[in-house]
Structure 1
Amino acid sequence: MVPRLLLLLGALVVGAIYVSVINDWTDLDDDRLGGKYNHMADRSKVFPTLLILGCLLAGLGMGVYFWHRNPVSSLLYLGSWVAFSLYSLPPIRVKNRGLLGVLADASGSHLFPQLLTASLAAAWTGHTLPILWYVALGTWAWACGIRNILLHQLDDVEADAKAGVYTWVRVRGPQFTRRIGQAVIFPVEVVSFSLLLVLNQQLWPALFLLPYLLLEGFKWRLWGNRAQVLEPGARVLLNEYYEVFYPLGLLLVLSSQHTSDLLVLGLHLLLFGRCFWQTAKYLGWAGALTARKTLDRLY
């Protein structure tokens, strides 16, 4: 399974490089007007052209492989490329078309990659996942993607105004965007993820919510550092759980059932070790501080 997961990771990385290059390339004029740094500003036109062609060739090869394994997975992989191309490339360039830009970015960065991963894992293991599971996963992924791109647009609203870029935040305003994020997008995200936890029928990923919430409470009380739903510059609520606690809980369950999945757990810790060890450090510090204060009260 590990070689296949590395192949999937490689396919996603190729797509990420593609979207990063075309986004920077097509944003050159807007970033110059908005006073933003652009990685392509000092590059010759040959460099991004070669990089895009290389990504397209590699992506085509990955897509052909996915097609032979599972045609649906190949179409989902294609979906990310199409969504990001529509987002960045003229003449369509939905980045400059309000809500369409939000939906395209969320689809390319979260919806299609999450569904691709699930469909490939099901094909590789010979399991059939229920439709409701895909619905819950897709809804959660889309909501996460929408929240992330809205956060990015809120952070860039001043630069986008200077450049004349009409993102959703520019069209509807930061205050309305925050209200929609808090009252609609985030509740949908939480409900769909809760359904996903129920459908998974695994206790540990749900139990790992407790240390996450305790750690959030600790950071808030000690430093006044409260995680926010949709606020630029603040820690993003639930992101640390999604990145550290949830995958760790799920992989521990799988490893206890199939020892071969210990390799997958090791791969995960290797790739995302920085996030994991940072969280472990905070947990250890919070535990030590709590124990010391408890002992001080007792003695």
Structure 2
Amino acid sequence: MLATFYASGCVVNAQMWPLLPKLLLLLVGLAVGATYVSAINDWTDRADDFAGGKSNLLSSKSGAFVALLIAGCVCVGLGIGLFLMQASWVSALLYLGSWIAFSCYSWPPIRLKNRGLMGVIADAAGSHFFPQLLVVSVVAAWSGHAVPGIWYGTVGGWALACGLRNILLHQLGDIKADEAAGVNTWVRKKGAYFIQQLGRFGIFPVEVGAFSLLLLLSQQLWPVIFLVLYVALEGFKWRIWGAPAVITPGKRMLLTDYYEVFYPLSFVLALSVQHAVDGWLLGLHLLLFGLRCWQTIRQLIWAGTLIVRKGLSHK
């Protein structure tokens, strides 16, 4: 979410540091939404998780506790929604969209989780599509700069593809437990092989294509430089470890490190170049996520050191 916030700021050439208080409130709203999702998912999955031999955080909690937790999330969510409504109706509706999508995914009698493809789409929309577009929308509303429609479309397409990939990988990882519990996920209906092929040759290429267009539309050099570094590092790991990043449950996921480290860092760096005041945002980002960044930097240093040593050994 932060990366898209930074990237959208670059696209409209707006100072983002002054928007920090509103951004923090938005993150609270997204966190509350995530808590609501986790609560209703665990509560409505109790019987299925028991049948499938999976752990469930709410299995030992009382109905009153869960009701209070869900009600608290809804109340805070309504407050955040009203706050967003003051900025723009679009933002409020996008925020509401995530709540509706996940409610339809989990709550009976709709419970799209058991309805194949519709459940997959609902999860992808709730977890990625609506939140990512919400971030773009609030940047436009709070900065007073219009965001191009093609940017909305590109971010939305990329987010939906990411969401589809993630939920299908999750369902692939849970396929045995879902079979034991009789949960009719789309992976169970179509079979693991079909889903794996769809992910590799359908969804993932769309994700990569949309993200490539996103980088092109941003007209920023730093994300491209960092992408080259990421690709080089992954190639090096493949050669040394013999274990490439893949799109398979339980494995090191392709593009995860770029999305988590390089993507946000490159755009907050670009913001600080555009506007000196956003250097504070860069500093805050490094303060909060410095450990994760440092882990990646150490890997780059490690790779560079081995390459230099190998080069010297051949002289």
Query: 1:7 — aligned with what?
Result: 25
Partner residue of 1:82?
100
Query: Could you tell me how far 1:275 is from its partner in structure 2?
Result: 2.8
Q: Which amino acid aligns with 1:154?
A: L
Select the residue among 135, 142, 146 that pairs with 2:160: 142
For the residues of structure 1 that align with 2:176 and 2:288, how far apart are their CA atoms?
35
Give the corresponding residue for 1:156. Answer: 174
**Structure 1 unpaired stretches of 5+:** none
Q: d(CA) in 2 for partners of 1:156 and 1:249?
A: 34
The corresponding residue for 1:275 is: 292
Q: Within 1, Cα distance between the matches of 2:68 and 2:312? A: 63
Alignment match, 1:234: 251
Cα deviation, residue 54, structure 1: 0.8
Q: How far is the alpha carbon of 1:297 from its aligned partner? A: 2.0
Q: 1:248 is matched with which residue: 248, 265, 272?
A: 265
**Distance in 2 (alpha carbons) for counterparts of 1:92 and 1:267:** 42
| Residue-by-residue CA offset, 1:42-85 (whole Å, 9 max, x unaligned) | 22222221111110000000000000111100000000000000
Q: Which amino acid aligns with 2:129?
A: L
Do residues 294 (structure 1) and 283 (structure 2) align? no
Please give the alpha-carbon distance, in whole angstroms, between the structure 2 residues aligned to 1:209 and 1:28: 42
Alignment of 1:202-241 (within 5 A): 202-229=220-247, 231-241=248-258
Please point out which of 190, 193, 198 is paired with 2:216. Answer: 198
Unaligned runs of 5+ in 2: 1-18
* Separation in 2, partners of 1:273, 1:75: 34
- How many percent identity over aligned positions? 60
| 2:278 counterpart (237, 246, 261) | 261
TM-score by length of 2: 0.92
| Secondary structure of residue in 1 paired with 2:298 | helix
In 1: Cα distance, 2:238 partner to 2:211 partner:
24
Q: TM-score, normalised by structure 1?
A: 0.97
**SS of 2:179 mapped into structure 1:** helix
Counterpart check, 1:107 vs 2:125: yes
Change in Cα spacing, 1:270 to 1:38, as seen in structure 2 (3 Å) is farther
The separation in 2 between residues aligned to 1:268 and 1:127, in whole angstroms, is: 23
- Pair 145,272 (structure 1): closer, same or farther in 2 beyond 3 Å: farther
> Which is bigger in relative contact order (C-alpha 8 A, separation at least 6)?
2
42-51 vs 72-81, greater mean Cα deviation: 42-51
Amino acid in structure 2 at the alignment position of 1:58: V
Preserved contact between residue 133 and residue 196 of structure 1 (Cα < 8 Å):
yes
CA distance in 2, matches of 1:139, 1:259: 32
2:40 to 22, 25, 29: 22
Aligned length: 297
| 3-state SS, counterpart of residue 314 of structure 2 | helix
State the one-letter code of the partner of 1:46: A
Say if 1:70 and 1:203 are closer, same or farther in 2 by CA, change over 3 A.
same
- Deviation, structure 1 residue 283: 1.2
1:285 matched to 2:302 = yes
1:224 is displaced (CA, Å) by 1.6
When structure 1 is superposed on structure 2, of 284-293 and 143-152 the one drifting more is: 284-293
CA distance in 1, matches of 2:43, 2:296: 36
Correspondence 1:32 to 2:54: no
Please tell me whether residue 60 in structure 1 is matched to residue 78 in structure 2: yes
Q: CA contact under 8 A between 1:97 and 1:168: conserved in structure 2?
A: yes
Deviations 1:19-64 (A, max 9, x none): 0010001000000000001111122222221111110000000000
Between the aligned partners of 2:33 and 2:284, the Cα distance in structure 1 is 21
- 272-281 or 239-248, which deviates more: 272-281
Structure 1 residues 267 and 53: CA distance shift in structure 2, 3 A: farther
Inter-partner Cα distance in structure 1 for 2:78 and 2:220: 36
Structure 1 residues 106 and 28: alpha-carbon distance in aligned structure 2, compared to 1, 3 A threshold:
same
Is the CA contact (8 Å cut-off) linking 1:2 and 1:263 kept in structure 2? no
**SS of residue in 2 equivalent to 1:37:** coil
Structure 1 stretches of 4+ moved >4 Å: none
Residue from 176, 190, 215 that aligns with 1:172: 190
- Map residues 85-100 of structure 1 onto 2, 5 A cutoff: 85-100=103-118
